Homo-oligomer: A and B are copies of this chain.
Amino acid sequence: MKITAVIMAGGRGERFWPRSRNNFPKQFLSLTDDGETMIQKTVARLQSMVSSEDVYIVTNAAYAPLVREQLPQLPPENILLEPAARNTAPCIGLAGAVIRKKYGDAVMMVLPSDHLIKFNQMFLDTLKRASEAALQGNRLVTIGITPTYPETGYGYIHFGEGEEGLAGVYSVKRFVEKPNIELAKEYYSSGEYLWNSGMFVWKASSINSSLKKYLPDMTEGLEKIYNAAGTEGFAAVVDEVFPEFRSESIDFGVMEKSSEVCTIPGNFGWDDVGSWLALERINKTNEYGNMVQGDVISISTKNTIVCGGKKLIATVGIEDLIIVDTKDALLVCAKDSTQDVKKVIENLKICNRNELV
């Protein structure tokens, strides 16, 4: 059976403000030293497994020009545009309908567009094993990540027995929400929990059955989309039907309910690049612990992240700061206060300064 990739690229992540903006979210940013953007990396790392014609991007209609510019190798019809943001269940339903129509059935590897993976071959190996598992029955495979510390920012997967005849595939006891630090420590030390990476592998027919079963109010809309897929009226039908879908995550809407769910633990240097703090994990730091991009002179500066451009940035006597300079906005933030950057954005929204959001 054909293997396809569905890359979800509709996110509006505010956690990389001021580099990321409403009209330029994180997946289109280059946060690594090599200049490649997150979504370009996401597509590139699948290259040896999925050809460009079988890669689908689902994104907000507003980001269509960015996707076309950054991924010119993809067929234009593989860029599926959401006329409204409705979370992951409708996003996946839309892509599944298009894929069922085109291929009859196919394996769908559903992947976020804004994560980083260090060990690509191990990642591809995991996806291959997940595809094999997905082909047997109607399994909904979720890729779990072996935790390396008690993170409170991710959901966890409580996994159970190994599945018979499928080495490395485990049953799922339950999904749990982002824990507090005590629970996170418990999960971490138990050896029974994985991080929920938001990566899924299944047949288009399998997820379609599950959507019908667990989110029946989507059935009629998805049927309309399926019928229109590949025809001239497709975009108009999506524009009409899609906004009517209820906003729902695939985790809550399907995965937490289905008995077909299983997980494959992955260990491939995954990073969700959740905030500016990630930059010192994913890029090289110098001998003083500084991660520096742009034209920077640092005097007595330690453990600081500086993201600049052409303008000279001089840092003197500082530590544990994040400095991000862009053409129209500068952020100077303590490392332990990244969660408060959203207050800046709220302030800008209240003041109707939407050009800066």
Decide yes or no whether A321 CB sits under 8 A from chain B: yes
CB distance from A24 to the nearest CB of B (A): 16
Given A300-B337, A337-B300, A316-B328 contact (CB < 8 Å): no
* Chain B residues positioned under 8 Å from A312 (CB to CB): 18, 328-330, 348, 353, 356
Q: Which of A316-333 contact B (CB under 8 A)?
A: 316-318, 321, 323, 325, 327-333
Is B316 in contact with A318, judged by CB distance below 8 angstroms?
A: no
Decide yes or no whether A122 CB sits under 8 A from chain B: no
Decide yes or no whether A49 CB sits under 8 A from chain B: no
* Chain B residues positioned under 8 Å from A313 (CB to CB): 329-330, 332
* Chain B residues positioned under 8 Å from A344 (CB to CB): 297, 299, 314, 316
Decide yes or no whether A336 CB sits under 8 A from chain B: yes
Is B316 in contact with A331, judged by CB distance below 8 angstroms?
A: yes
For A, the interface residue count at a CB cutoff of 8 angstroms equals 35
Given A297-B348, A347-B297, A317-B330 contact (CB < 8 Å): no
**By CB atoms of chain B within 10 A, which of A299, A317, A344 has the most?**
A317
Is A316 in contact with B332, judged by CB distance below 8 angstroms?
A: yes
Residue of B nearest to A336 (CB): B317
Decide yes or no whether A315 CB sits under 8 A from chain B: yes
Our pick among B316, B325, B334, B353 for the contact of A316 (Cβ within 8 Å) is B334
Residue of B nearest to A316 (CB): B333
Is A18 in contact with B333, judged by CB distance below 8 angstroms?
A: no
**By CB atoms of chain B within 10 A, which of A332, A343, A348, A353 has the most?**
A332
